[in-house]
């Protein structure tokens, strides 16, 4: 169970949060099909750390972005 750093509330237990997936750079709504395809579907899984979104569901309801190491699960700032 991760201890996730909410920017508002500080470190809280994972069960308070909801995962929001990779921190993608949302294309503009009217961007092309292939832009959206690349951003929404294609993943770079070659790195050890990723940027991702979490949602503090049972807390302040804030959506935020963090960087996490997928092997150690450590959050990096």
Instruction: Please name the residues in contact with 15: beta carbons below 8 A apart, sequence gap of 6 or more.
Output: 1, 58
CB 27 within 8 A of CB 60: no
Instruction: Give me the sign of the Cα torsion angle 69, 77, 51, 59.
Output: positive
Residue 34 interaction partner, one of Zn ion, another protein, none, beta carbon < 5-8 Å per kind: another protein
77 contacts another protein (rule: CB under 8 A): no
Residue 58 interaction partner, one of another protein, Zn ion, none, beta carbon < 5-8 Å per kind: none
User: Which residues in the 29-68 window bind another protein by CB under 8 A?
Assistant: 29-38, 40-46, 48, 50, 52-53, 55, 57, 61-63, 65
């Amino acid at each position: 169970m991760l201890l996730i750093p909410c920017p508002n509330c500080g470190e809280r237990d994972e069960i308070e949060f909801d995962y929001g997936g990779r921190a993608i750079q949302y294309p503009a709504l009217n961007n092309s099909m292939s832009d959206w395809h690349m951003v929404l579907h294609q993943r770079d899984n070659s790195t050890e750390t990723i940027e991702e979104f979490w949602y503090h569901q049972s807390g302040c309801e804030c959506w935020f972005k963090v960087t996490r190491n997928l092997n150690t699960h450590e959050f990096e700032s």
